[in-house]
Amino acid sequence: MKLPVTVISGYLGAGKTTLINHLLRNANGMRLAVLVNEFGALSIDEDLIEAEEEGLMSITGGCVCCAFGGDMIGVLEDMRDSKPGFDHVLLEASGVALPGSIMTTVGLVDGVRPDASLVLADADQVERNAADKYLSDTVLRQLEQADILLITKTDLVSAEKLSQVEDWLKTQAPHARTLRAERGAVPLEAVVGTTPLAGRRSSEPMAKSAFASTVLYPDGPVHAENLARALADTDAITRAKGYVKTDEGLALIHVVGQRYEVEAADGLHDIGVVCIGAKAVFDAEFVQSLVQTKP
């Protein structure tokens, strides 16, 4: 019996991490393997982690989270051959990756079966991103390659806006199944074990070349709220995420478009905020200048 793999993709900030944490909390006895390109891109809730070593996290309920770096095929083979085995693999794609190309690679691995591709669409941002001349190609290609479209951040828009977004998404991916989720709350059985749509695979390369990034490393405590607001106020950044020191301790900053959120953080975390934007308008020097450490 082949090991099924579900690719979870969607543009930067669409809510992939929130969804994966929800699925791990509600695995219903399934042994899940979560694969991610690098751990810095995926924050597993600390209370789910039983043990952590380089490149591997052991999660409650017999699940694991594994960083595959550039060797996705090798890690999939390890998951296939592991004892005891896994029931399902959730592969979290980067925010600018095309799911079709990943599923094509998954299909090359003996003993592994590509399941339906899940693409997340932020109800508050997806139309805006799709209309941006620098982002539209990536966003629209992700949507059209979806087997299942999961509309996220539904609590941030009105019922009328949500209905409008859903109608618009149907024009972009008319054959995809559409689901709604608030804070990643969707049943596991709704997104795993589903047959892909016929003819949805693609060998197109990942669309990374249109994007640039920089990492902010404040050399002292910062006012996290002010920094998050400054990052959200510039058109140069479409996504920022990371930890900073404040006078009160560590804080986690999330920025998606013009939205931002700051929350207190516990435990040990590497300091740094990864900022990503469209290469045509991204000015790394300007982004670095937004960091104002406290005297």
User: Quick one: pLDDT at residue 206?
Assistant: 42
Question: What DSSP element (H or E) covers 139?
Answer: helix 136-144
3 state SS for 60-100: HHHEEEEECCCCHHHHHHHHHHCCCCCCEEEEECCCCCCHH
Q: pLDDT value at position 208?
A: 46
pLDDT at 161: 95
Tell me, what's the pLDDT at 201? 45
Residue spans of the domains in the chain: they are 3-191, 211-289
The number of angstroms, rounded, from the C-alpha of 148 to the middle of its chain's C-alpha atoms is 15
Q: What dotted CATH number matches 3-191?
A: 3.40.50.300
Domain 211-289 coded CATH 3.50.50.60: no
Q: What is the pLDDT of residue 195?
A: 61
Predicted local confidence at residue 31, as pLDDT: 92
Burial 158-173 (b: 16+ CB within 10 A, else e): eeeebeebbeebeebb
Averages of pLDDT over runs of 10 residues in the chain (295 residues) are 91 88 90 77 78 80 82 86 91 85 84 91 93 89 92 93 94 90 84 63 47 83 91 82 89 82 82 81 86 69
